[in-house]
Amino acid sequence: MKNSKPYRPNVGIMLLNGDGDVFLAHRVDSREKAWQMPQGGIDAGEDEYAAALRELFEETGVKSVRPIAESTKWYTYDFPAGVRFVSEKKKTYAGQTQKWFLLQFTGDESEIRVDRDHAEFNAWKWARIEEIADAVVDFKRDVYRQVVNEFMPFVDAVREDAKKKQTSA
């Protein structure tokens, strides 16, 4: 039976450092496998890329980025039983549908601040892209694997650039 509730429009951000590692943050409201990439809702009339930049800043303090790629499609996941998202307008959702953006962090790590007002995260780390799907909650894992597959060629290019810079230094 198809879920009759709508899916919340959302953006996800895969943020890379200069070595091609991925930014992961640990949710304050969860235990164990509660790492995730930044993500958040799209405001009415807001451009998806603008929403991605806004969400990234709100959740991490990061503004220094360079765009690399945008997902070719929207990825969707269902909330598991017992997990609900209710919007400010009291609308409930079956899950989220996400447009993903691959960005490269160009700033200093001191710019990264997850200890913000109304913080969603309590820790952060850089992780190898091959590790991120196993670090997230089960209901997001399939989407993460698909996003990793789509963005992997771009991540490989960043890694190659990093290797070239190291060997020429």
- Alpha carbon 110 to its chain centroid, in Å, reads 20
Residue 20's pLDDT band, with cuts at 50, 70 and 90, is: very high
Residue with token string 């959702």? 93
What phi and psi, each to the nearest 5 degrees, are found at residue 43?
A: -70, 155
- pTM for the whole structure: 0.91
Decide if 105 contacts 23 (C-beta within 8 A). Answer: yes
What's the CATH fold of domain 7-168? Nucleoside Triphosphate Pyrophosphohydrolase (3.90.79)
pLDDT, position 117: 79
Both structure tokens of 158: 């960043």
Decide if 31 contacts 119 (C-beta within 8 A). Answer: no
In tens, the pLDDT along 25-64 reads: 998 877 667 899 999 999 999 999 999 999 999 999 999 9
Tell me which amino acid residue 95 is: G
Q: Where are the domains of the chain?
A: 7-168
In tens, the pLDDT along 98-152 reads: 999 999 999 999 999 998 878 889 999 999 999 999 999 899 999 999 999 999 9
pLDDT, position 81: 81
Both structure tokens of 97: 């549908």
